[in-house]
């Protein structure tokens, strides 16, 4: 039901996979086997300020000491992996690095503002972990991923394809007393980086030589194989529902494979996608055949009308108007399906 971020596992997302495995494993190791070493990973800004323990800005902002924070942040990183597929691993890593650095400055400013305004000392009580970049990813998630209603509840309330992600973010936001400081600094840093304010995206980025080195050394370790086209059918469904789900799945698989094939040909030859060759089972259009310069008697059916709002949402994600129009027509105005195959291929 919640398919806003795709369903291809960690394929083409090595950075996301590394962030899921390494910090989570270290967090479990510290909690279960090495609890006496947790003091080295405490995010203590007071110690940074008074004792010049600068290393805490690194160690205290990578590994979560609270397993609840580890679980919620891992789920959010898994859902945000779609941005790595869309931007590429280097740009995605640059966004995480930039928001991580900017949020450290934001933490200092917010802690001092709270101390001077309310007399509350929060410098020693900030949560540890890679949390600020996770909150920063909510900025492109809100701006780029279209909102598709899944179920209507009551009045203006409805469940969308983004509801579960926001609930996870709210759970993480309320997991500690002062985590809201990290969350706000993360959102501000994500907004600054996403809007390219003060050209921070050109300063705080992963160098090309480092990207090539990591691609050569780490990507083979954290890369994932391409997922199979087979998907499970929900348990408890009737035979008719299972048959209908299977037909929809086959249509979607055919649509994605045809789109990927033509896009590969376009990348090799250049030029626009020939959408007339795509999606015959979904669009069910009649081809206009020409013979000796004359049109045959068989006429093409009129094109399906597409909502301009849906087209605008797809164009905001970086796709051309032509691709957005034809993708929506091919998917019978299903914005979720159109978004999935345009993002994943």
pLDDT digits (tens, 9 = 90+) for 127-172: 999 999 999 999 999 998 888 777 777 777 788 888 999 999 999 9
Residue percentage of the chain with pLDDT more than 70: 73
In a 3-state reduction of DSSP, which class is residue 101?
A: helix
- Distances in Å between the alpha carbon of 258 and those of 78, 120, 341? 27, 59, 11
Structural domains for the chain: 14-147+157-222 (1.20.1540), 305-344 (1.10.8.10)
pLDDT above 90: residue 339: no
Average pLDDT over residues 178-207: 91
| 52-65: pLDDT as tens digits | 999 999 999 999 99
Does 286 have pLDDT greater than 60?
A: no
pLDDT at 122 over 50: yes
| Among the listed residues 238, 130, 220, 237, the one whose alpha carbon sits nearest the alpha carbon of residue 179 | 130
């Amino acid at each position: 039901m919640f398919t806003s971020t795709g369903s291809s596992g960690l394929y083409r997302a090595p950075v996301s996979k590394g962030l899921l495995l390494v910090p989570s494993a270290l967090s479990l190791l510290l909690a279960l086997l090495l609890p006496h070493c947790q003091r080295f990973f405490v995010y203590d800004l007071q110690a940074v300020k008074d004792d010049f323990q600068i290393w805490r800005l690194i160690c205290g902002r990578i590994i979560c000491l609270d397993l609840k924070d580890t679980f919620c942040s891992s789920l959010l990183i898994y859902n945000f992996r779609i941005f790595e597929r869309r931007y590429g691993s280097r740009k995605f890593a640059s966004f995480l690095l930039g928001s991580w650095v900017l949020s450290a400055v934001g933490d200092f400013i917010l802690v001092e503002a709270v101390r001077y305004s309310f007399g509350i000392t929060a410098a020693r009580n900030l949560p540890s972990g890679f949390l600020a970049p996770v909150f920063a990813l909510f900025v492109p998630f809100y701006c780029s991923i279209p909102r598709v209603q899944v179920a209507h509840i009551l009045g203006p309330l409805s469940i969308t394809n983004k509801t579960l992600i926001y609930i996870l973010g709210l759970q993480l936001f309320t997991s500690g007393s002062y985590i809201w400081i990290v969350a706000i600094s993360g959102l501000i840093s994500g907004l600054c980086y996403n809007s390219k304010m003060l050209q921070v995206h050109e300063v705080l980025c992963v160098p090309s030589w480092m990207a090539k080195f990591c691609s050569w050394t780490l990507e083979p370790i954290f890369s994932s194989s391409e997922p199979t086209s087979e998907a499970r059918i929900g348990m408890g469904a009737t035979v008719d529902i299972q048959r209908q789900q299977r037909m929809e799945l086959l249509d979607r698989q055919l649509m994605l494979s045809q789109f990927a094939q033509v896009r590969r040909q376009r990348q090799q030859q250049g030029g626009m996608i020939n959408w007339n060759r795509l999606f015959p089972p979904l669009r069910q259009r009649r081809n206009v055949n020409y013979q000796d310069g004359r049109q045959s008697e068989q006429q093409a059916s009129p094109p399906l009308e597409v909502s301009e709002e849906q087209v605008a949402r797809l164009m905001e994600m970086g796709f051309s108007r032509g691709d957005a129009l034809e993708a929506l027509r091919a998917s019978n105005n299903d914005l979720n399906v159109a978004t999935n195959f345009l993002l994943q291929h």
